[in-house]
Amino acid sequence: MAIEVFNRYENKYLLDDAAYRRLYAELLEYMEPDDYNKQHEFYSISNLYFDTKDDTLIRTSLAKPKYKEKLRLRAYGVPDPNAKVYLEIKKRCTGW
């Protein structure tokens, strides 16, 4: 299994319903919905975050350090006993 490292940059914008629908329609010309969104419906994403007994990871994260990490289990849609779930390590570095 390959470990992929990349820089991620986010910009978040509030859209009214009309702007959302226009943008969504334009994006569909270049992209296709993921496997969980073939019917163009919203779906849930469930996350379960793991931590130490004394909550070290969340305490560190709340202190806003330059480096932080989280361990989570993620499921798309409503998980059932046979659903595929993903164990993820989230790492974030700022100021580098």
When pLDDT is averaged across residues 32-37 and rounded to a whole number, the result is 75
- E strands, the chain, are 45-50, 67-76, 85-93
Question: 37-90, pLDDT tens digit by residue?
Answer: 777 677 788 999 999 999 988 898 888 888 888 899 999 888 888 988 999 988
pTM for this one?
A: 0.57
What are the residues facing 70 on neighbouring strands? 90
Contact 80, 94 (CB under 8 A): no
Give the model's pLDDT for residue 42. Answer: 77
For 30, the 3-state DSSP assignment is: coil
Average pLDDT, stretch 14-24?
Answer: 94
The predicted structure's pLDDT at residue 1: 57
